[in-house]
Amino acid sequence: MQGGRKLLCGAMRLFLRGSRLCLKQGHRRAPRRLRHLLSYIRLLLSSLCYNSLTNSELVMDCLFEPVFWLVDLLTRWFGVVFVCLVVVLTSSILMIAYFALLPLVLRTYSPIWIAWHICYGHWNLVMIVFHYYKATKTPPGYPPQRKFDVPSVSVCKKCIIPKPARTHHCGICNTCILKMDHHCPWLNNCVGHFNHRYFFSFCLSMTLGCVYCSISGRNLFVDAYNAVEHWKSLDVEKQGVPVTGVGLLIGILPPGSVTGQSYYQTSPPPYTFRDKMFHKSVIYMWVLTSTVALALGGLTLWHAVLISRGETSIERHINSKETKRLQKRGRVFRNPFSHGRLNNWKLFFGVEKRSHWLTRVLLPSSHAPYGDGLTWDFSPRRKDMMAI
């Protein structure tokens, strides 16, 4: 690969030297249009090998740029649809819980269990609504557009501004994001320095709520599923073969059916429309919450691992490549933004004293995160919060 690239560059240099020599020797004899054409060809060839860092990855990025642009455009437009979908699905579960399950709980459960379900359910609901609203409405953080004295690690080729550490460009938002983790279509917003805690707390609260609904509603789901299967069996039994009066002679119809008597000794159970809607609602709630608990639970667990390591989703990819590169040289990579697992969690949640585990973690809180997202030279080991 390296030899082929050097050979191609050498051939281009020889061609450029030859064309330059021909232009000098035939400046008087060559027509003006031909000279302009040769100059343009030389410029094109120079532009092809102007950068020694050009490789196959850069070429593939350029070729797939229209595809990336289309995906970013669709994600930007469908972000509102995803947010509405979250609101509609969550509202449907709440309607089933309040209008179908809560009356059943009040009739059948003991006072202690009633208090537990009401307190935990409403605490979980408040945590979900608060953190989802804050995650969607809080700006993730943007680097200043004007000149600033903060040291930068590179220059964004899209925004043409200096990028501080941990800052990355979002193609969907079309701007740079401080401590960017990813662009979440379910929030229609980027997850960055100022709303990362809201995003993780929402994922954790929603996962706990779905697990709570799935476990507490398992027996109801089994009963509802059996009831629906029983309805189907009754419908199959009712679908008989239509016969005429000859059926009595050949023994198809029972004798009592001619006089209008019922064939059943006991009448079938009276399943009303309300009963059917109740059972189908329970099945819908259990399937939806169980599916979301598995999918969102895996995502929450992955982000918990990243927070313990002091990384974001983008930094995890970068750090893994850097770790492999240094391993080949016999060196060990160390994440400069990690301060230990417990310290990383305290920095993430903004815990400075013991009471903050209650007021800032277990209860809704709109406090700002540590730092401004531009510099990361603070050391938590020098703060009082490390004595917790």
Catalytic residues: 184
- Where does residue 310 fall: left (phi above 0), alpha (psi -120 to 50 degrees), or beta otherwise? left
CA distances to 54, 75, 257 from 33, in Å: 32, 48, 104
Pair of tokens at residue 140: 């993730």
Contacts of 274 (CB under 8 A, 6+ apart): none
Which residue type is seen at 239? Q
Q: Are 198 and 348 in contact (CB under 8 A)?
A: no
C-alpha–C-alpha distance, residues 235 and 229, integer Å: 10
**DSSP state letter for 178:** T
In DSSP terms, 176 is beta-bridged to 169
What H or E segment, with its residue span, contains residue 348? helix 341-349
- Where does residue 350 fall: left (phi above 0), alpha (psi -120 to 50 degrees), or beta otherwise? left
Q: Beta strands 189-191 and 175-177: pairing type? A: unpaired
